[in-house]
Amino acid sequence: MIKKSLFAVLALVVITSCVSPKVYKDLEAKYADLKSENRKLSKENQALLNAKTAAENELKQLKSAYDEAIAQRDKLEGEYNATKASLDNLKSSYDALEQNSSKAIAENSQKNRELLAQLEAKEQALAAENARLEKLKRELEDRSNRVAELEKVIADKDAAMTALKDAISRALTDFEGKGLTVEQRDGKVYVSMENKLLFNSGSWAVGTEGRRAVQQLGSVLGDNPDIAVLIEGHTDNVPYSGNGPLTTNWDLSTKRATAIVNILRENNNINPENLTAAGRGEYAPVASNHTPEDRAKNRRIEVILTPKLDELSRLLNE
């Protein structure tokens, strides 16, 4: 029933050939939410890198403290051994002087007691240092494990996005050299399709070849349910001159982004909640707009794939 209602709404939109202010505002609001989410993800990613740096710094400090503790323990062991040797020497002297005067025996006994007290104090200090050393060792292991865990999550995320990029590249091999590129940067995958592959001039109806490219992209996205998908429509700076309800390049770019979303929604394996359509008009060019070739590069659809960072958020909040 829901699908029939949606088809009825889409049919009405096609018949009227216009974008209502409410739909336009909804798209703008959703795009603003996406920008906010993107900033949040960037902050979380930066926070993760900062946490990793802080953890590595703490690891270095703990290693330094651990080395100092080892040196202190070795020093105490040396003092302990020296004191024990002195005690042994005094005991030998005591045995040798046992037959001497009671005064000499009393003096040696006093020294013996003093050395025993020193030896006991050294033993206590050594035990305390060993306890501190053990605590530092545990903290060092904990920090090492946390750094390793953070590094693994980052590596797994990058590996997953690399695998996604490779899968998309394989799925879209037939469209190489036809205005389609697949790139990975900043932890995201960017699929850019020039309008010459998708649309006729001034139109938002996707052609046969473009529809096939979007469907093949959708087959990969259907196997990756934990990926947020942003579809951005872009134009050059030539004012829109078509007839009908559209008046600006922004209208046209939004219409084109929505057309791509509608094709992806035909794949039941793609969660509609993961899809966002946004029109950028002429305001995010990748070339100068000074030549026909540059303007052609600016007329494009960009599909931006972002991983969900739930695991990274959990680690940062621990």
Tokens for 2, please give them. 């829901």
Tokens 């209502």 belong to which residue?
Answer: 20
Residues 12-61 pLDDT 10s: 444 445 557 787 787 778 888 878 877 887 787 788 788 888 888 888 88
Pick the CATH number of 20-51+162-317 from 3.30.1330.60, 2.40.50.100, 3.40.50.1110, 3.40.50.11260: 3.30.1330.60
Per-residue pLDDT at 201: 87
How many C-beta neighbours within 10 Å does residue 297 have?
19
pTM beyond cutoff 0.85: no
Q: What is the mean pLDDT of residues 159-167?
A: 90
281 sits in which H/E element: strand 275-281
Decide the pairing of beta strands 300-307 and 227-234: antiparallel
The answer to whether 63 and 139 are in contact (CB under 8 A) is no
The answer to whether 143 and 54 are in contact (CB under 8 A) is no
Domain residue spans of the chain: 20-51+162-317, 54-160
Tokens for 46, please give them. 């930066």
Q: How far does Cα 220 stand from its chain's mean position?
A: 22
Decide the pairing of beta strands 188-194 and 180-185: antiparallel
The answer to whether 24 and 254 are in contact (CB under 8 A) is yes
Q: Which residue has the higher pLDDT, 312 or 79?
A: 79
Question: Helices 21-96 and 102-171, interaxial angle, to 10°?
Answer: 160
Is residue 4 over pLDDT 60? no
The answer to whether 220 and 168 are in contact (CB under 8 A) is yes
Question: Helices 249-264 and 208-221, interaxial angle, to 10°?
Answer: 60
Q: What is the mean pLDDT of residues 61-74?
A: 88
Rounded-to-integer distance, Cα 76 and Cα 53, Å: 34
Q: How far does Cα 35 stand from its chain's mean position?
A: 17
Is residue 139 over pLDDT 50? yes
Rounded-to-integer distance, Cα 165 and Cα 190, Å: 8
Tokens for 39, please give them. 């900033």
Is residue 284 over pLDDT 60? yes
Rounded-to-integer distance, Cα 6 and Cα 272, Å: 13
Q: Which residues pair with 192 in a beta bridge?
A: 181, 302
Q: How confident is the model at residue 267 (pLDDT cuts 50, 70, 90)?
A: very high
Rounded-to-integer distance, Cα 84 and Cα 80, Å: 6
Lowest mean pLDDT among 1-5, 22-26, 87-91, 157-161: 1-5
